[in-house]
């Protein structure tokens, strides 16, 4: 039942309801966007004793700004959700869906019973996959930390000052192709879709505009990916309005459409390998 619901993700909507799920009553804090970083100054993990991080640029950013523990350790399900609500103004249902998808990839329960360290999410072929936009493949070296050359190529997939579904769809097709040429196995069906969901989050958070014509300034995305810091110097502020799943759906669909055209293949249905469907 859960899988069936999850499979509707790409075609119908970005978010699926877990049967019987009740969203915890997370509240966005009352601060205005200009001050959402009060008390959340950026600090490099290299300055934090024993800090661990993961291959996700946004989770790392939230830890670097102390929306998650700065050492990246002892994080519960609800703490992941709350960090996305407070740091990004995601709606609790969207933040819960993203979190559940990720914890599911580790085979973890979607409740408060477990504490996670961020480096657990570097688990290759479970939460971490090849053909990332900003990280090397496992066989190529450091697959957890950002690679500046890959970021540069990602930005150059767009000929304008901003990224959109067309440029990111092209980036996804290119990275899958490069990955196989580098000698990595082809991405599993689940990860082909997951890569599109992850990429759509970039336009969701940093983009403006409606539907699948939302676009995100390259200057913001570049600074964010390289430093894992909110790019306030480039004009970024947390969304004033809560970001809901309906904003994400057309972005994922737009990226999928372009990737499928350029790859000359259709994004496959979940192969069941990981028991989850893209909800990240
Ligand atoms: C509990 C919440 C989340 C967890 C545990 C998580 C974890 C991960 C992991 C493990 C990856 C690595 C996949 C790979 O191998 O490329 C990843 C990638 C990514 N995540 Fe997250 N993530 C979360 C939420 C978010 C949010 C809210 C954003 C918003 C921007 C985001 C943006 C991204 C992007 C853009 C990538 C792709 C990076 C690339 O391809 O180089 N994530 N995430």
Residue 136 tokens read as 């090397």
Would you write out the chain's pLDDT as a tens digit for each of its 280 residues? 343 333 333 333 333 333 334 455 565 554 455 699 999 999 999 999 999 999 999 999 999 999 999 999 999 999 999 999 999 999 999 999 999 999 999 999 999 999 999 999 999 999 999 999 999 999 999 999 999 999 999 999 999 999 999 999 999 999 999 999 999 999 999 999 999 999 999 999 999 999 999 999 999 999 999 999 999 999 999 999 999 999 999 999 999 999 999 998 898 765 443 333 444 4
Task: Give the residue, by CA position, lying nearest to ligand 1 atom 25.
Answer: 58
Question: Residue 43 domain-assigned?
Answer: no
Can you spell out the DSSP letters for 34-78? GGTTTT-----GGGSTT----S-HHHHHHHHTTSS-TT--SB-HH
pLDDT digits (tens, 9 = 90+) for 93-126: 999 999 999 999 999 999 999 999 999 999 999 9
Question: Residue 99 domain-assigned?
Answer: yes
Question: Residue 103 domain-assigned?
Answer: yes
Task: Give the residue, by CA position, lying nearest to ligand 1 atom 29.
Answer: 201
CA of 186 to the centre of ligand 1 (A): 20
Question: Residue 80 domain-assigned?
Answer: yes
Question: Residue 270 domain-assigned?
Answer: no
Q: How many domains does the chain have?
A: 1
CA of 242 to the centre of ligand 1 (A): 20
CA of 117 to the centre of ligand 1 (A): 15
Structural domain span for residue 159: 50-263
List all residues whose CB is within 6 A of at least one atom of ligand 1.
54-59, 80, 84, 98-99, 102, 121, 127-129, 132-135, 198, 201-202, 205, 280
Task: Give the residue, by CA position, lying nearest to ligand 1 atom 34.
Answer: 198
pTM: 0.89
Question: Residue 217 domain-assigned?
Answer: yes
- φ, ψ of residue 217 to 5 degrees: the values are -60, 135
Question: Residue 10 domain-assigned?
Answer: no
Question: Residue 9 domain-assigned?
Answer: no
What's 199's domain CATH number? 1.10.489.10
């Amino acid at each position: 039942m859960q899988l069936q619901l999850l499979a509707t993700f790409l075609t119908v909507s970005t978010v699926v309801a877990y049967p019987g799920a009740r969203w915890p009553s997370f509240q966005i804090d009352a601060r205005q966007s200009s001050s959402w970083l009060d008390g959340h100054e950026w600090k490099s993990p290299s300055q934090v004793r024993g800090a661990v991080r993961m291959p996700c640029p946004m989770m790392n950013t939230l830890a670097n700004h102390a929306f998650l523990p700065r050492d990246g350790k002892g994080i519960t399900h609800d703490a992941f959700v709350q960090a996305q609500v407070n740091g990004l103004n995601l709606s609790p249902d969207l933040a819960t869906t993203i979190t559940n998808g990720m914890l599911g990839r580790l085979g973890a329960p979607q409740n408060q019973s477990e504490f996670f360290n961020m480096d657990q999410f570097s688990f290759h072929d479970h939460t971490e996959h090849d053909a990332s936009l900003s990280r090397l493949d496992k066989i190529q070296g450091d697959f957890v930390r950002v690679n500046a050359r890959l970021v540069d190529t990602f930005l150059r997939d767009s000929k304008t000052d901003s990224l959109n579904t067309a440029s990111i769809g092209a980036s996804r097709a290119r990275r899958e192709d490069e990955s196989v040429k580098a000698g990595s196995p082809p991405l599993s069906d689940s990860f082909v879709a997951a890569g599109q969901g992850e990429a759509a989050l970039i336009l969701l958070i940093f983009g403006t505009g409606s539907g699948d014509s939302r676009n995100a300034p390259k200057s913001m995305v570049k600074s964010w990916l390289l430093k894992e810091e909110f790019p306030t110097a480039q004009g970024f502020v947390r969304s004033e309005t809560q970001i809901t799943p309906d904003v994400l759906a057309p972005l994922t669909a737009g990226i999928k459409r372009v990737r499928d055209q350029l790859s000359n293949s259709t994004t496959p249905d979940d192969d069941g390998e990981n028991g989850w469907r893209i909800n990240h």
